[in-house]
Amino acid sequence: MAHVNFDRWAMPGLDLTMGGKTYTVPAPHGERLNLAIPAFASVEAFRSGLSKAAVTQETLDVIACIDEPFEEVMLGSSAYAEMQSDGMHPEVISRMALYSMWKWASPHGDQIADLMAQYNWGNKGDGSSAEPGEAQGR
């Protein structure tokens, strides 16, 4: 009988640590993986200037059908609720949701998520960091 170690093919969750506490974002599946994440990533890429391609009406229709807040969709209900109950600042939750979105939106997710975090919130070259809502290069 053949034995296959499937660990390398499984999609693990994403552990995000803030203030010494680790929150586990479950790997996306179903509509979250196939519809919501690509739709939100497409809008964010256009908004940030990374893509010149206009957001299609179909993409906007997908987003309009989502009842949960963006952060809950990207982080999963459990991690999102835990962050809120821990009193985490909403801007930090939003940044973690964006990081998760970039992680899951690309086959090179870890590298893309880190690159986007650095672009949006990283060191601006003078030793300071981007303020909430301020992206580098904008």
- Torsion angles phi and psi, residue 50, rounded to 5: -75, -25
Predicted local confidence at residue 87, as pLDDT? 96
Sign, CA dihedral 109-110-111-112, equals positive
Count Cα neighbours of 1 within 13 Å in the Cβ-side half-sphere.
1
Beta-bridged to residue 129, according to DSSP, are: 123
Predicted local confidence at residue 60, as pLDDT? 92
Count Cα neighbours of 47 within 13 Å in the Cβ-side half-sphere.
12
Which positions ≥6 away from 11 have C-beta within 8 Å? 27
Q: In this predicted model, what pLDDT tens digit does every residue of 25-38 receive, in sequence order? A: 998 887 777 888 88
User: Is pTM beyond 0.85 here?
Assistant: no
Where are the chain's structural domains? 26-121
Average pLDDT taken over every residue of the chain: 84
Predicted local confidence at residue 2, as pLDDT? 83
